[in-house]
Amino acid sequence: MSKQVVNFSLEGRFLGFEFEEYKPKRLLIATSEGECTLKIAKSLRYSFGLRLIPGDWLQILGEKKIDRKTGEVKLKAEQVIPATISQEQTSIPVAAKSAKSKASILVCQKSDCMKRGGKQLCQAMQAALSDRGLTDEVSIKGTGCLKHCKAGPNIVMMPDKTRYSKVEANQIPELIDKHFTPEEAVKEGDFLVAAK
C-alpha cells in the first residue's frame, strides 16, 4: 500500500478559508509549526456559518494521508472544535494582518441564493473591492444558509453584522462604499454615506 492514513489532532488560530467556485474547500490555520491548509470534509463545509472569525482558536480532528512514494501529506478536517487557550498557543506566530480582525462580507452559498444571483454578487464584490484598493482589508466569505431563502441573495457585512436581502450586483459598489470606504473618502451625493 503506497498511502498511509492516520488520525491527527492539532490546535491553531483560524486564518480564513480557501474557496473554489465560491464554496469553502479548505481551512487556513496558523499552528506552532507555521501555517497549514486542511481540506474540509464535505459534511462540514456549510456547518461553519457565521461562527468562525479570523483569530479564533480551534482544535481540529481529522485524517492525515501520507503518500509513501512522494512524501506528500494531505490533511482533511473531519471535526472542528473551538479550543481553549493553552500555553502552546501563546507562541504561535501569526502575521500582523491576521492578528487584526479583517472586515468581511458573508455571502450565502446555498442554492436559493445562488439561483437568485449570488455568483454575480461575488463577482461584483471582487471588482468593487479591487477598484477601491480594499482587497487586503475586506474578504468575501461564503456561508451556509442565512435564512430568508425566498428573499435571496442574502449577505451580511461584518463586523457590524448588517444584513441585506434581495441584493443585486449593481447595488454592490454603493454597499461597499457605505460599509468599508473611509468616511473622508466618500463624497456625499455620489453614493450613500454610512452614518457614524
pTM of the full structure: 0.46
Query: Taking the domains of the chain in order of start, what are their residue ranges?
Result: 3-89, 103-185
Distances in whole angstroms, Cα of residue 24 to Cα of each of 3, 32, 86, 141, 192: 26, 24, 28, 8, 31
174-183 confidence digits (pLDDT tens): 999 988 876 4
Write down the pLDDT at residue 171.
93
The arithmetic mean of pLDDT across residues 132-158, rounded, is 83
79-131 confidence digits (pLDDT tens): 888 765 443 444 444 443 333 456 888 888 788 888 888 888 888 888 888 88
- Write the CATH number of the domain with boundaries 3-89: 2.40.50.140
Residue type, 188: E
d(CA 76, CA 42): 10
% residues pLDDT > 90 (the chain): 7
Which fold, 103-185? Glutaredoxin (3.40.30)
6-39 confidence digits (pLDDT tens): 898 888 888 877 777 667 788 888 887 888 889 9
3-class SS shares of the chain: helix, strand, coil, % to 5: 25, 40, 35
Cβ pair 32, 88 in contact under 8 A: yes
